[in-house]
């Protein structure tokens, strides 16, 4: 339920509620690694690059080798580049 609500709020660009529900979904099942990606996208959309980066790094650490992690890698590289430009 939380995962579906989080995804719906993300699509509606209501990022605070999306993060709340995606976090609740991850608390219930920490193996839902791709919800880390969704939550990272929400953090990124609100400018919270630190939290977005943390979620992406966790996803890349925990995801199975067979999972397609390319979108997470691309977003992480973008965040790292933006973070270094802000310094």
pLDDT beneath 50, residues of the chain: none
Quote the percentage of the chain above a pLDDT of 90.
Answer: 70
Average of per-residue pLDDT values in the chain: 92
Spans of all domains in the chain: 2-86
The residue count of the chain comes to: 87
Q: What is the pLDDT of residues 59-72, one digit of tens each?
A: 999 887 667 788 88
Return the exposure string of 12-23: e unless at least 16 CB atoms fall within 10 Å of the residue's CB, then b. eeebeebbbbbb
Query: If DSSP codes are grouped into helix, strand and coil, which group holds residue 56?
Result: helix
Fold of 2-86: 1.25.40
Q: Which residues contact 85 (CB under 8 A, 6 or more apart)?
A: none
């Amino acid at each position: 339920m939380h995962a579906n609500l989080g995804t719906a709020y993300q699509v509606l660009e209501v990022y605070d509620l999306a993060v709340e529900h995606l976090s609740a979904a991850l608390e219930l099942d920490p193996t839902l690694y791709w919800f880390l990606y969704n939550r990272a996208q929400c953090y990124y959309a609100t400018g919270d690059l630190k939290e977005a980066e943390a979620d992406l790094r966790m996803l890349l650490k925990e995801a199975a080798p067979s999972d397609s992690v390319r979108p997470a890698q691309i977003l992480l590289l973008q965040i790292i580049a933006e973070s270094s430009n802000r310094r």
